Amino acid sequence: MATTGFDALAWKWMRYSAFLLIPLAWGHVLIQDILMGGHSIDLDYVSLRWSMIGWRIYDFCLLSFAFAHGINGLRQVLCDYILSEKYRRWAAWGLLAAWGIISAIGAVAIIGGVRLE
Amino acid sequence: MRSRFRATLSGYATYSARGGLFPFLLHRITGLGTLIFLTIHITTTASVYFSPSFYTRFMTVFRTPLFMLGEIILVFCVIFHGVNGLRIAYFDLFKPDLWKKPSFQKITRATLLIALVLWLPAATVMGYNLLKIGFGLFGGE
């Protein structure tokens, strides 16, 4: 394991963000999947939830922390299979781009809210 | 190509000696599973803004038994990855010598047990909903 530089920072990020993700992700799963159940979630439910700014901030935190944690995890897994430095860099840039695009899509939706058609 | 494969395998072997192959693999599988779901979840949920009619159609698919079963598995992934992740973070950040101690196996087993104990009540509730809404048992919806 590297002790300085980006990989050391990423290594620490995975562990410290984990402590924050426990209440965030488990709380989300408890409410949406267990108490509500994915089957009962619809547009009305999302607009009701997002009418409260606190839940929008909660979802925004979840989006930033969980997805970055997942994408960086995938990068670390890929580094175990890709041994050439060149392709590792390609994979990292590809993942960064995917992370940026998908996070932006999610962020726009959280800010924009449910659109009435 | 073969040397790369061998390097990967020997990498697994060394890691295994140090921390147990089973929790290592299960951590990766549950993590990747959650990430795949998360990618679908973010983009489809974002359709409440980009295309609400698509969201409504997608949620109809989500109410099929297959997806409801997938949701139960997903909850296990999130719970196990969380419990085991806490163990990894705790070992790495505060007690690195625990990786080498014989008690490691016991802690690993406890991790899986805690995850199962947390998951079972959730799986019961969700399994009930699966039978009720997915298969029309207990009087259906």
Residue A9 lies in a domain: yes
Cα–Cα nearest to A116, from A47, A53, A52, A60: A47
Q: How would you write the pLDDT of chain A (117 residues) with one tens digit per residue?
A: 556 688 888 888 888 888 899 999 999 999 999 998 888 899 999 999 999 999 999 999 999 999 999 999 999 999 988 989 999 999 999 999 999 999 999 999 999 999 986
Locate the chain A residue with the closest alpha carbon to B55: A43
Q: Which of B5, B6, B14, B38 to mutate to test the interface with A (most CBs of A within 10 A)?
A: B38
Other beta carbons within 10 angstroms of residue B57's beta carbon come to: 12
Residue A78 lies in a domain: yes
> Worst-scoring range by mean pLDDT, A80-89, A91-100, B6-15, B55-64?
B6-15
At residue B9, does pLDDT exceed 70?
Answer: no
A75 close to A15: Cβ distance less than 8 angstroms: no
CA distance B114 to B95: 20
Q: Write down the residue that tokens 């159609």 correspond to.
A: B57
**8 Å CB contact of A26 and B79:** yes
CATH number at A57 reads 1.20.1300.10
Instruction: Give the minimum alpha-carbon distance from B73 to chain A in angstroms, rounded to a whole number.
Output: 11
The domains located in chain B, with CATH, are: 20-134 (1.20.1300.10)
**8 Å CB contact of A115 and B48:** yes
Taking the alpha carbons at both ends of chain B, their separation in whole angstroms is 54
Cα–Cα nearest to A40, from B47, B129, B76: B129
Average pLDDT value for residue range B84-90: 89
Q: What is the pTM of this model?
A: 0.88
Listing DSSP states for B47-70 in one string gives: HHHH-HHHHHHHHHHHTSHHHHHH
Tally of domains within chain A: 1
Residue A117 lies in a domain: no
Residue A47 lies in a domain: yes
| Contact with chain A for residue B131, Cβ under 8 A | no
Domain with A88 in it: 5-112
